[in-house]
Amino acid sequence: MTNENAKQIASKAVAAAMERDPGTGNGIDVLVIPNLILVKEENKGVNH
């Protein structure tokens, strides 16, 4: 998925939610964080 596709999907989802909540206003700001690297960390020595 490209950043442009992701922005379009996110904007449509937020716009749909805003239609159901009149208190949210009428603008959508989109923040793109490029090159985000996710690192999985294990909980070592912690018992749940």
Question: How many Å separate Cα 35 from the centre of its chain?
Answer: 15
Residue 48: its pLDDT value, please?
A: 52
Reported as a single tens digit per residue, the pLDDT across 9-37 is: 988 998 888 888 777 677 788 887 777 67
- Tokens 């964080």 appear where? 33
Task: Provide the pLDDT for residue 47.
Answer: 57
Helix (H, G, I), strand (E, B) or coil at 2: coil
For the chain, the domains span 1-34
Predicted model pTM:
0.55
Distance, CA of 3 to CA of 11 (rounded, Å): 12
